[in-house]
């Protein structure tokens, strides 16, 4: 009990999805940066979130560029343009992949349409599709509702999730107890979905206090802070 999550356990093609406010974008940025810093792998991060165009990986472009991470996002990200088309470079994830690909996908069944467009291509790849959950967000506050959201995404995307990421937090107000109290929720969701809880994210400054109390802790930095300060 209490080991840190080893990023090398994750497959080299990792897709992160989750409901609005789950914090999947910050995790995507952490994934990409950590792999780039810890290995010699060529890392690409694809922003395919067509649901929430104002909270984007592009907010962390400077961090990513400095670490050598290639960011592929819509040219209309962080603008008022309607339609928010998918980035033109997304096919390179399949046709000319690097060593490690991270995809940030919109967080409900509508957002999963972007993923569904490439379901046939993805079925040819050994990938992880991880559902990011935050118990403190209204639409994900109980395991049954979260499970129903998971099913809606799977149906639209024509793909199955491979695991769950427990990212329960209250932004700057997060305490170790908030994270510990979320574990039964994550376990219940795991039982309902028959999927493993791959790791539990912990803000880096809280990780030492929780070591030994949670399996597969993944310490994260906060590169991405929406106005309501949830990571």
Per-residue model confidence as pLDDT tens digits over 182-202: 999 999 999 999 999 999 999
Would residue 2 count as lying in a domain?
no
Dihedral (CA of 35, 198, 19, 177) sign: negative
Closest of 150, 80, 140, 165 to residue 112, by C-alpha: 150
pLDDT of residue 48: 78
Would residue 104 count as lying in a domain?
yes
Q: Which domain holds residue 67?
A: 7-220
User: Is residue 108 pLDDT above 70, yes or no?
Assistant: no
Q: How many domains does the chain have?
A: 1
pLDDT of residue 2: 57
| 31-50 mean pLDDT | 84
Give the pLDDT band (50/70/90) at residue 206.
very high
Q: Which structure tokens are listed for 59?
A: 């907010």
Per-residue model confidence as pLDDT tens digits over 112-145: 777 777 788 787 888 999 999 999 988 788 999 9
CATH code of residue 144? 3.40.50.300
| 103-108 mean pLDDT | 77
Q: Which helix (H) or strand (E) element contains residue 188?
A: helix 183-193
Would residue 225 count as lying in a domain?
no
Would residue 188 count as lying in a domain?
yes
Per-residue model confidence as pLDDT tens digits over 160-172: 999 999 999 998 8
Q: Is the pTM above the cut of 0.75?
A: yes
Give the pLDDT band (50/70/90) at residue 51.
low
Would residue 18 count as lying in a domain?
yes
Would residue 230 count as lying in a domain?
no
């Amino acid at each position: 009990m209490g080991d840190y999550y080893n990023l090398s356990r994750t497959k080299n093609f990792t897709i992160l999805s989750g409901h609005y406010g789950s914090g999947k974008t910050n995790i995507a940025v952490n994934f990409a940066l950590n792999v780039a810093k810890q290995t010699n792998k060529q890392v690409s991060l694809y922003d395919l979130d067509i649901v929430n165009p104002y909270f984007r990986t592009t907010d962390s472009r400077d961090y990513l560029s400095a670490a050598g991470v290639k960011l592929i996002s819509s040219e209309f990200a962080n603008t008022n343009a309607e339609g928010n088309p998918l980035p033109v470079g997304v096919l390179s994830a399949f046709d000319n992949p690097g060593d490690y690909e991270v995809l940030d996908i919109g967080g409900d069944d509508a957002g999963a349409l972007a993923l569904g467009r490439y379901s046939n291509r993805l079925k040819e790849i050994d990938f992880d599709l991880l559902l990011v959950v935050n118990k403190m967000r209204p639409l994900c506050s109980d395991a049954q509702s979260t499970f129903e959201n998971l099913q809606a995404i799977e149906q639209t995307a024509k793909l199955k999730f491979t695991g769950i990421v427990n990212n329960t937090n209250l932004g700057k107000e997060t305490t170790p107890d908030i994270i510990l109290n979320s574990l039964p929720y994550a376990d219940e969701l795991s039982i309902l979905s028959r999927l493993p809880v791959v790791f539990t994210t912990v803000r880096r400054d809280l990780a030492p206090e929780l070591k030994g109390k949670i399996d597969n802790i993944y310490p994260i930095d906060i590169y991405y802070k929406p106005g309501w300060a949830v990571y």
